């Protein structure tokens, strides 16, 4: 049994411009959401540092090892930032890939349109030549005999 998660993120073979436009729009929306999450994490990171300082006198296990708690908190913030930066890089890569796919699809559509136009012109030219040409008679106008005539 395969799910959508098992399939790689590749466009269908007959991907249209609408597919690429939708993918670009979705990529931009993902970048916006990831940026908002990063900004929220930064605000909570600044507030969390103050909350840790305020909690130190209330909880003896924090005040006894405040330096370790602060280092752990900064390490957690650093890890969250690195994960966020990797996510942003992935989202920008997806956007660039989608834009490139859109451009390639545009070129493919233009090429197919030119080919169809050339094929139509060639058909019209052949039809015009066939109409201008004199009809060729393949059979003799004389009556046929019942014997084999070669």
Task: Say whether pTM exceeds 0.85.
Answer: no
Q: Give how far the C-alpha of residue 60 lies from the chain's centroid of Cα atoms, to the nearest Å.
A: 53
Instruction: Identify the CA nearest to 19 among candidates 142, 101, 77, 100.
Output: 101
Per-residue pLDDT tens for 27-77?
999 999 999 999 998 888 888 888 777 777 777 777 777 788 888 888 988
Tokens 């929306």 belong to 29
Do 99 and 24 touch, CB atoms closer than 8 A?
yes
The residue whose two tokens read 């008679």 is 137
pLDDT of residue 55: 75
pLDDT per residue as tens digits for the range 69-89: 888 888 988 999 999 999 999
pLDDT at 149: 60
Q: Above 80 in pLDDT, residue 23?
A: yes
């Amino acid at each position: 049994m395969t799910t959508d998660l098992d399939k790689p993120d590749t466009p269908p073979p007959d991907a249209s411009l609408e597919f690429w436009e939708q993918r670009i729009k979705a990529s931009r929306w993902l970048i916006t959401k990831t940026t908002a999450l990063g900004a929220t994490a930064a605000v909570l990171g600044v507030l969390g540092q103050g909350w840790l300082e305020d909690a130190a006198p209330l909880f003896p296990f924090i005040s006894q090892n405040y330096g370790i708690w602060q280092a752990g908190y900064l390490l957690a913030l650093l890890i969250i930032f690195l994960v966020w930066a990797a996510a942003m890089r992935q989202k920008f890569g997806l956007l660039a890939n989608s834009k490139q796919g859109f451009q390639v699809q545009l070129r493919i559509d233009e090429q197919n349109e030119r080919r169809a136009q050339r094929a139509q012109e060639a058909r019209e030219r052949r039809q015009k030549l066939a109409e201008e040409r004199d009809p060729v008679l393949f059979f003799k106008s004389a009556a046929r005999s019942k014997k084999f005539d070669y």
